[in-house]
Homo-oligomer: A and B are copies of this chain.
């Protein structure tokens, strides 16, 4: 089946936002063996939208449109298409009630302008939106099955998975299997080199950088589900053998979740003392539902005073070695563990920049430490990048330090 993807919005054509929806949808289509033949983006202009939908629905078997379903005046996709195809718009009372419900649930008043989100073209049907106000719409235009979805990614994802994907699966021929292996700790080029001659058993391998992680995607297509799964299983096993513990997980499971599972399995708790990461480690740990079971506390000790008061780091240690030092990181980790009673204490201290670097300790320098009842280990790294990237890289490296510690326990 040939599929075209159309995204609408002045903000795309003006370069204010990067269209990520087209790639997301394409990947889903491709995994089912459908062929995406074109992406088109047009602005919030009714003639352009009508022309683009008309042309796409003449060429493709399926057209997936995102954007322009919001409540504001520049959200005009549905009106433009209805006018172009001579379809009447009808107020769908059930949809209107759902929009009202949504506002009730989030404790807000529905604006008058939201009413237009309940207008559905004749012959079309609404696709439920569980996370926002605008429903999607499915309608046949010419020979093409057309799906209209919101431009807001999380709303698009939900409606696509619930209401578009099942239809795409029905229309798919043959079997396919896809898997994502998640890696942390090596750059893309190094991973690429290590895997240059890895046996893929008929699967296709592609790389995606989701800084600071590298995601490896395997896809196999075959006559049968079992064949496709076998290819992916064999390729995944070969990759894991090459990369060892650089592969930390699969699918959607993020690193803090993997570490959280490991902590829970071992009935251990963790406490975090952060300087340069400024709360980002704690925030990543607590992004995981149920993290209160193993995340005991976090301390963001930016000032030396806070390091002394909250962590019991001695002024002597700070004076003799500086706040960015192996000794300070170890004292911080030991302090947060001792004061919290957690099984594991970890700490970071470093220079995220742009200021604060010196020839001996340039921006990108970080010391981190992990401590338990048995022993304390410290690590030093020098990374490159701007403040935001460095904070994230420091934080994820610290979380991965816990994973590697627990693996070797």
Q: Which residues of A contact B (CB under 8 A)?
A: 10-20, 22-30, 36-44, 48, 52, 70-74, 102, 105-108, 111-114, 131, 133, 152, 187-190, 192-193, 196, 206-209, 217, 219, 272, 274, 277-283, 285-287, 289-292, 295-303, 305-306, 309-310, 339-341, 353-355, 364, 382-388, 391
Contact B18 A72 (CB under 8 A): no
Contact B296 A384 (CB under 8 A): no
> How far does the Cβ of A354 sit from chain B's closest Cβ, in whole Å?
5
CA distance A17 to B206 in the complex (A): 10
5 A-B pairs within 8 Å (CB atoms) are namely A18-B23, A292-B302, A297-B299, A305-B340, A309-B340
Chain B residues with CB below 8 A from A40, complex form: 38-41
CA distance A386 to B289 in the complex (A): 10
Chain B residues with CB below 8 A from A28, complex form: 15
Q: Residue on B with the closest CB to A206?
A: B16
A287-B388, A297-B310, A306-B297 known; A72-B38 Cβ under 8 A: no
Chain B residues with CB below 8 A from A188, complex form: 70-72
Name the one of B26, B52, B152 contacting A14, with C-beta atoms under 8 angstroms: B26
Complex A-B, nearest 5 residue pairs according to Cβ-Cβ distance, in ascending order: A278-B286, A279-B282, A15-B27, A298-B300, A15-B26
Contact A106 B383 (CB under 8 A): yes
CA distance A39 to B281 in the complex (A): 38
A39-B41, A206-B16 known; A189-B114 Cβ under 8 A: yes
Name the one of B187, B208, B355 contacting A290, with C-beta atoms under 8 angstroms: B355
Name the one of B29, B113, B189 contacting A189, with C-beta atoms under 8 angstroms: B113
> How far does the Cβ of A41 sit from chain B's closest Cβ, in whole Å?
4
CA distance A15 to B388 in the complex (A): 26
> How far does the Cβ of A193 sit from chain B's closest Cβ, in whole Å?
5
> How far does the Cβ of A337 sit from chain B's closest Cβ, in whole Å?
13
Q: Residue on B with the closest CB to A210?
A: B17
Contact A13 B42 (CB under 8 A): no
Contact A11 B193 (CB under 8 A): no
> How far does the Cβ of A288 sit from chain B's closest Cβ, in whole Å?
9
Contact B189 A72 (CB under 8 A): yes
CA distance A19 to B11 in the complex (A): 15
A71-B192, A74-B207 known; A22-B19 Cβ under 8 A: yes
Contact A38 B30 (CB under 8 A): no
Chain B residues with CB below 8 A from A37, complex form: 13, 42-43, 48
CA distance A385 to B74 in the complex (A): 25
Name the one of B12, B279, B296 contacting A306, with C-beta atoms under 8 angstroms: B296
Chain B residues with CB below 8 A from A24, complex form: 15
Contact A289 B387 (CB under 8 A): yes
Chain B residues with CB below 8 A from A339, complex form: 309
Contact A297 B297 (CB under 8 A): no
Q: Residue on B with the closest CB to A11?
A: B208
Q: Given contacts A111-B193, A274-B282, A278-B286, could you give 8 more A-B pairs where the C-beta distance is less than 8 Å?
A: A37-B48, A40-B41, A72-B188, A111-B190, A295-B300, A297-B299, A297-B306, A309-B339
Q: Residue on B with the closest CB to A353?
A: B289
Chain B residues with CB below 8 A from A12, complex form: 22-23, 26, 39
Q: Residue on B with the closest CB to A55?
A: B55
A14-B26, A388-B287 known; A301-B297 Cβ under 8 A: yes
